[in-house]
């Protein structure tokens, strides 16, 4: 699974939680392969000139996960962004445990991006992780 999302959206923490690793924040500087996951830098979404790197990274994946932070007030995904991948898509709302989270708004952003299957998660409280694992089987 390739994870795509803006900087700080929780992609790396989500991978660590799914792999039962200790959570430790680190800025992803380049495409990182971690077991069955590919972690992409947030800049690949934030800079449209780098979309080709996302497409190339997705070539070897069965699933692409669009990650949207539930505390975010905006989205970097253009309408129907998901359609460029031609892969199974999963929308992943992260940080649903935060007091300032708005999972409904995050879900709306993912639906605008063209994702239908959406899982709400928390890497800290382990919310939704089992549901997400089941989507990957």
**Every domain of the chain and the residues it spans:** 2-135
Q: How far apart are CA 53 and CA 51, in angstroms?
A: 5
Q: What percent of the chain has pLDDT over 90?
A: 84
Q: Say yes or no to pLDDT of 26 above 80.
A: no
User: What pLDDT is recorded for position 30?
Assistant: 75
User: What pLDDT is recorded for position 137?
Assistant: 72
pTM (predicted TM-score): 0.94
User: What pLDDT is recorded for position 25?
Assistant: 73
User: What pLDDT is recorded for position 31?
Assistant: 86
2-135: CATH, from 2.40.37.10, 3.40.50.300, 3.40.50.10470, 3.40.50.12780: 3.40.50.300
| Cα distances (Å, whole numbers) of residue 48 to 17, 27, 31, 51, 119 | 29, 20, 16, 5, 26
Mean pLDDT computed over every residue of the chain: 93
As to burial, measured by CB atoms within 10 angstroms (0-12 exposed, 13-18 middle, 19+ buried), residue 62 is exposed
- Which residue matches tokens 């935060």? 98
Residue 123 in tokens: 């890497």
User: What pLDDT is recorded for position 74?
Assistant: 95
Mean pLDDT over residues 122-128, rounded? 95
């Amino acid at each position: 699974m390739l994870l795509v999302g803006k900087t700080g959206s929780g992609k790396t923490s989500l991978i660590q939680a799914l792999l039962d690793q200790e959570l430790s924040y680190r800025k992803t500087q380049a495409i990182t392969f971690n077991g069955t996951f590919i972690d992409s830098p947030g800049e690949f979404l934030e800079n449209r000139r780098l979309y080709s790197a996302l497409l190339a990274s997705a070539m070897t994946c069965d699933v692409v996960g669009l990650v949207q932070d539930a505390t975010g007030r905006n989205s970097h995904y253009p309408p129907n962004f998901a359609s460029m991948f031609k892969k199974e898509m999963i929308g992943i709302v992260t940080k649903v445990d935060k007091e300032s989270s708005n999972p409904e708004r995050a879900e709306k952003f993912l639906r605008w991006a063209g994702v239908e299957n959406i899982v709400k998660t928390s890497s800290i409280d382990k919310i939704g992780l089992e549901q997400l694992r089941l989507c990957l089987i």
